[in-house]
Amino acid sequence: MFCGAVALCAFAVSAPALAGGVTAGTLIENTAVASYDDGAGPRTINSNTVTVRVDELLDVTLTSLDPGPINTRPGDAVLTFELTNQGNGPEAFTLLANPTVAGNDFDVTVRAIAIDSNGNGIYDEGIDEILTAPQTTAVLAADAVLTVFVLVTVPDGVTDTQTSAVDLNAEAVTGSGTPGTVFAAAGVDGGDAIVGTTSALATARGELVVGVANVALAKSVVLRDPFGGASAVPGTIATFTITAQVSGSGTINDLIVTDAIPDGTTYAAGTLALDGTALSDAADGDAGVASDAAGIAVDLGDVAAQTTRTVTFDVTID
Ligand SMILES: [Ca+2]
Ligand SMILES: [Ca+2]
Ligand SMILES: [Ca+2]
């Protein structure tokens, strides 16, 4: 440290650079030095040392970590947030989730607020800690970042494309208020805790959008009688067409189309087809199985919305 003639030299305790500035409780000491020559040689004198203890700033931020609205359907969903202790001292924060946001098409039920205990960014049931009321985080070091999950349930009866928002609020346990509000002796080492620019309050919004797929099943028949016409007489071949149309958004899982062979008719072996491609009658590697006794079944698996699959088969009128 360079101290020139009649220079001021500051001696500060080193402290990490924080979003909230120098760590609360840090002692900043300052001593002035004067150097001069009185004719008998150079001399140096020090002033008394002034010591200032850094008070604790209370600041917090919250952000949604979801890349966009969570695509959901009735049942459980998880919203993900990040809380940062922007203050310069250790502080805990009380969390409150509000599912009743103006403009919601529907309101979810908040089941719980959880902490990402294993730090993998994903809610793990039975591993990540569920906070009990009042839902308060552990004491977080200055600049510490915490991933928080809001566990919600989407009600039955919601329809495709409906949206809902949930606000998560965080408040410093020591207190909040207008920036500059002082909580005397409530900070580190008995120093004051002072509300920072965030008011020691934060809110972030998570959003959900309903993606519900629906299946519409339609069946039609075309007749070809033995005389080249379209009459239903013994020997007429009836071609049934079943269309499964998936609308909305999202995906339908494990979609299986089945149909019985009507009384008075016989399945025409080898006529089962999916989207115009033949399927074997046997239970084998393809999606279809058919017999006169058991009827037809076609396993379409998972089908995305805005998709139509068409199953056809023939019977002969006995
Ligand atoms: Ca504190
Ligand atoms: Ca986790
Ligand atoms: Ca087959």
CATH class entry, domain 213-317: mainly beta
Q: What are phi and psi of 159, to 5 degrees?
A: -120, 160
C-alpha closest to that of 249 among 132, 118, 139, 159? 159
Q: Are 163 and 212 in contact (CB under 8 A)?
A: no
- How far is the centre of ligand 2, averaged over its atoms, from the C-alpha of 279 (Å)? 45
> Under CATH, which architecture does the 58-210 domain have?
Sandwich (2.60)
In the chain, list all ranges with CATH 2.60.40.740.
213-317
Tell how far the Cα of 174 is from the centroid of ligand 1, in angstroms. 6
Q: Which ligand is nearest to the CA of 289?
A: 3
Q: What is the DSSP string of 15-41?
A: ----TT-SPTTPEEEEEEEEEEE-SSS
- Which ligand sits nearest to residue 288's alpha carbon? 3
Q: How confident is the prediction along the chain (318 residues), in pLDDT tens digits per residue?
A: 344 444 334 333 444 556 668 888 888 889 999 999 988 889 999 999 888 888 899 999 999 999 999 999 899 999 999 999 999 999 999 999 999 999 999 999 999 999 999 999 999 999 999 999 899 999 999 999 999 999 999 999 999 999 999 999 999 999 999 999 999 999 988 899 999 999 999 999 999 999 888 899 999 999 999 999 999 999 999 999 999 999 988 888 899 999 999 999 999 999 999 999 999 999 999 999 999 999 999 999 999 989 999 999 999 999
